[in-house]
Amino acid sequence: MKKKYGYFLLMSCFISCSSSMSKNIIEEEEAKEKVEIEEEVEQEKEGIVVLDEKIFYTEPKTFATVKNLKEDYNIDNDFDTDDSIILQNAIDEMESLGGGKLIIPAGNYSFAEVLLKSNIHLEIDSGVVIRPADRPNNRNYVIFKVTNDTSEEPLRNVSICGVNGKFKVDLRHANNLNVRIIMSFNVSNFKYSNMIVEDKYSRFSSVTFNGVKIGDKVLGPRNGVVKDIDLYNSDYGYGVVQFQLGKHIYFKNLYGKGGATLRIETHNKVLREIGTYDVVDEIYGTNIISEEGNAALMLSPHFINNGTVNVNGVTAIGSGFAVRIGAGFVNKEEAALGLTAGTFNKETVIKNVKATYSDSKAQIKPKHYKYMPCELRSLISNTPINPFPHGDSYNGPSIGAVVYDANYTVHIKEEDITIGEGFKEGVSLLLKEDAKTDTECGL
C-alpha cells in the first residue's frame, strides 16, 4: 500500500467515480479547532487533549435535601426484592422538596423503569451492585430513564455517579436481556460516571441517547459528561454507548470488552422527520478503548447530515478495528420518504489512534472480511459468538486500525495512527480500494 502523507481528507466519490477511485491524499494545514474548545483545554498528556468537563456539565454547589436510600426509605438489600417503587418514591419526594442528593449506600439492589427527575443526583457507593428487576415479559426496558417526555422543557441538572470508586450493574442474572442501563432523551446538564457493567450479550448498549417527539419537535440530550465506564462481555452490535441524537456532550475514559465502545449511529425512525431536531453536533471524546471487540469508535450517519465529532485517543486491543467510519445510506422505506445518504461535518477530527493485534479474539462480521489480508482469513472461527437477529459475528484476527468506507470527509493524520506487532503491512488505514473478495484472494 502506498504511504499516505499529511492530513487525510477521506472522501468517497460520487457513484460515477466507480470503485476504481484512487486514494485522495491531500496535504493541508491542520483543521482549525473551534475557538471555544481552545479555551476548554484542561491538560495535554502524551498528545491527548483532555477537555475541561465544566464546559459540558455544571456541578451543583449545594443540595436542597440529602437523603440515604437505606436509612430513610428502608431498602432491604435483597436482590429478590424489586426496589424500583421505593427508589421512585424517594426521587419523587425529593423533587417536591426542590431536589437534592440521594445516597445509595453499599448493598444489593434490583431496579427497573426508574424515572429520574430534575435536580436529582444519585450518589452510588462503589460497594453497590444493581441487578435489573425481573420483568414479566420480553419487552424492552431500562433501569434508569432520564428525560422529560411531557413538554419541551428538558429535564435539568441530574447525575448518576459512583463515589469512592465504581459501582456495578450486573446483567448476567437478568431474566430479560432486552435492557438498557441509562436511556436519555430530553435532558440538559447531566453526568453519568464511575460504573462497571457485567454483561451477558444483552440486546442494547449500556448507555443510550436518542430523541423523543413532543409536539412538532424531536428533542434530544444536550450538555453532559459521560465518563469512567467499563463494560465486559458485550455483543458485537452494541457496547458502552449508542448515540443517535445529542449536542455538546463529552465522552471520556470508556472501556468496552466486546462490541463498539462509542457507537455514533443515527438511524432511529423518530429522526426521519428532518428539520424537527438539532442533529448530532459538538461531540467530543477522550480515551475510548475497545478490547476483543468490534471497534472502539464507530461513525455511521445513515440518512442524517450530522455536525462535528472530535475524538482524541482511540485504542483497540485485539479488536476488529480501532475506528470504523461508515458510509451514509438509506433503506427502501427511507428512500421512499425522500431521505438520502447522510454524512458527518467535514470538520470531524479523529486523533491518536492505536491498535494492537490478536489472531483470534476480535469480533468481526463477514461484511468486513474483504478488508482482511488474504492469508489471515483461514483463522476466522466458523462458530458464531452469539446468535443475533441482525447477523452473526465471529471471533477472528484483528483487521486493521481504521476502516474508512464513507461519502464524507474525516480529518486524520498518518502519524496519529499506530499499529502494533502482528498486523500485516498496510492495514493502518483501509479504504474501499483495499477490499478483496475471497475469489480475488484465490480462496
Q: Which of 253, 247, 94, 244 is nearest to 162 (CA)?
A: 253
- pLDDT of amino acid 387: 74
DSSP state of 87: H
Select the more confidently predicted residue: 4 or 340: 340
The residue with cell 483532555 is 50
In a domain, 344, yes or no: yes
* Average pLDDT, integer, range 33-49: 52
- pLDDT of amino acid 370: 97
Task: Provide the number of structural domains found in the chain.
Answer: 1
pLDDT confidence bin for 409, thresholds 50/70/90: very high
In a domain, 231, yes or no: yes
By residue range, what is the domain housing residue 309? 54-64+104-434
pTM here is: 0.91
pLDDT, the chain, mean: 90
Lowest mean pLDDT among 35-44, 107-116, 210-219, 326-335: 35-44
In a domain, 93, yes or no: no
In a domain, 201, yes or no: yes
Which H or E element spans position 370? none
Q: Which of 361, 137, 390 is nearest to 257 (CA)?
A: 361
pLDDT beyond 60 at 175: yes
Lowest mean pLDDT among 32-46, 60-74, 141-155, 203-217: 32-46
pLDDT beyond 80 at 15: no
pLDDT beyond 50 at 14: no
CATH code of the domain containing 345: 2.160.20.10
pLDDT beyond 80 at 19: no
In a domain, 230, yes or no: yes
CA atoms of 170 and 175, how far apart (whole Å): 12
In a domain, 327, yes or no: yes
In a domain, 71, yes or no: no
Strand partners for 256: 231, 290
The CA-atom distances, in angstroms, between 267 and each of 115, 334, 393 are: 25, 10, 21
- How confident is the model over 301-339, as pLDDT tens digits? 999 999 999 999 999 999 999 999 999 999 999 999 999
In a domain, 110, yes or no: yes
Q: Which of 143, 272, 270 is nearest to 199 (CA)?
A: 143
* 357 neighbors 383 (Cβ within 8 angstroms): no
Cα angle 428, 432, 434; round to 5: 55
- pLDDT of amino acid 43: 57
Lowest mean pLDDT among 166-180, 182-196, 308-322, 387-401: 387-401
pLDDT beyond 90 at 42: no
Select the more confidently predicted residue: 391 or 138: 138
- How confident is the model over 105-151, as pLDDT tens digits? 999 999 999 999 999 999 999 999 999 999 999 999 999 999 999 99
pLDDT confidence bin for 223, thresholds 50/70/90: very high
